[in-house]
């Protein structure tokens, strides 16, 4: 049926309505050429790159790890503050345990002399502390840590932390390490299989310490838990030695009072 004259018929979709503006597509813009950025590997980055590459190439490493209840470690830290009026960081306390552990498992305080095909077991514990500085990753060393009291070790570590902001370490502070402690938990990381700081034989990693459900005396409780990861040179020792060391450190963290009696 033809619609009344007062009602206009619908126009076909392909025919524009009278007086309708024609849409004009904007002119295409020329494509912007993207350029890759080349960043020279120089300075500290070059040194780190060379050392880590050497480590990966020469060291047949293995990794073990375990979760540890660190609740009592924080209790001990707070008790030390109350008893002495002095602050002890968790890192400093764990460093104390590491030094004691290396005296118990001295093979982990070693390096491999590839020329003579000998394991060189070091008499001194020169404890390296991986530090993220404004200049990049650095590993300043606490020399002679085996002869230090807990207070002396704490003060040495505090000095390293203070210098880490700008990375102004003298060359002597960055050489001679025999074992490295890496607290990557400060970066919000739970765990990591770190690369051994060549020519050392092992590195201990500390993850972040967070509250987790934990079974205590057959009951579920909320505890502060940390993951420890141990990377070691399999040329120097077998898994039993590394596991013994890691278990020893875990025991110190879970029951720190006896280890910290002598400050």
Choose among 128, 106, 137: nearest CA to 176.
128
Q: Is 64 exposed, middle or buried (0-12, 13-18, 19+ CB in 10 A)?
A: middle
Question: How many domains is the chain built from?
Answer: 1
Model pLDDT for residues 2-37, shown as the tens digit of each residue: 555 555 555 555 555 555 556 677 777 777 889 999
Write down the pLDDT at residue 30.
74
Domain-located, residue 144: yes
What is the C-alpha to C-alpha distance for residues 63 and 191, in angstroms, rounded to an integer?
A: 11
Handedness of CA 237, 240, 242, 245 (dihedral sign): negative
Let me know if residue 155 belongs to a domain. yes
Examine residue 235 and state whether it is found in any structural domain, yes or no: yes
CATH number at residue 113: 3.30.559.10
Cα–Cα distance measured from residue 239 to residue 97, given in angstroms and rounded to the nearest whole number: 20
Asked if residue 94 belongs to a domain, the reply is yes
- Domain boundaries, position 239: 61-254
Does residue 43 belong to any structural domain of this protein? no
Predicted TM-score of the model (pTM): 0.84
Does residue 27 lie within any of the structural domains? no
Pick the catalytic residue: 113, 233, 238, 262?
238
Stretch among 9-18, 57-66, 111-120, 125-134 having the lowest mean pLDDT: 9-18
Q: Tell me the C-alpha to C-alpha distance, in Å, between residue 197 and each of 11, 57, 59.
A: 79, 12, 10
Residue 4 lies in a domain: no
In angstroms, the first-to-last Cα distance of the chain is 105
Active-site residue (options: 78, 113, 166, 234): 234
Q: pLDDT (tens digit, 9 = 90+) per residue, 215-253?
A: 999 999 999 999 999 999 999 999 999 999 999 999 999
Is 238 one of the annotated active-site residues of the chain? Answer: yes
Residue 220 host element (H or E): strand 219-233
Q: What Å distances lie between residue 208 and 4, 67, 70, 159, CA to CA?
A: 81, 11, 11, 22
Quick count: other Cβ atoms within 10 Å of Cβ 27?
Answer: 6
In a domain, 11, yes or no: no
**Is residue 149 scored above 60 in pLDDT?**
yes
143 is catalytic: no
């Amino acid at each position: 049926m033809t619609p009344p004259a007062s009602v206009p018929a619908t126009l076909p979709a392909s025919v524009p309505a009278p007086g309708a503006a024609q849409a004009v597509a904007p002119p295409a813009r020329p494509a912007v050429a993207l350029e890759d950025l080349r960043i020279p590997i120089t300075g500290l980055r070059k040194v780190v790159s060379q050392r880590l590459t050497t480590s990966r190439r020469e060291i047949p490493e293995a990794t073990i790890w375990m979760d540890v209840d660190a609740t009592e470690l924080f209790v001990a830290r707070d008790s030390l503050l109350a008893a002495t009026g002095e602050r002890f960081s968790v890192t400093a306390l764990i460093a104390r345990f590491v030094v004691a552990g290396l005296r118990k498992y001295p093979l982990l305080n070693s390096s491999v002399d590839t020329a003579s095909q000998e394991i060189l077991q070091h008499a001194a514990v020169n404890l390296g502390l991986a530090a993220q500085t404004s200049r990049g990753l650095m590993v300043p060393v606490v020399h002679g840590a085996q002869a230090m009291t807990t207070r002396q070790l704490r003060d040495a570590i505090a000095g390293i932390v203070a210098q880490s902001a700008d990375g102004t370490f003298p060359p002597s502070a960055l050489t001679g390490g025999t074992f490295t402690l890496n607290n990557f938990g400060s970066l919000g990381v739970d765990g990591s299989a770190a690369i051994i700081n060549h020519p050392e034989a092992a590195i201990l990693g500390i993850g972040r310490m967070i509250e987790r459900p934990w079974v205590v005396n057959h009951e579920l409780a909320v505890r502060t838990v940390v993951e420890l990861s141990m990377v070691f040179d399999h040329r120097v020792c077998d898994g039993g030695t590394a596991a013994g060391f890691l278990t020893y450190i875990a025991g110190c963290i879970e029951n720190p009072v006896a280890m910290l009696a002598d400050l």
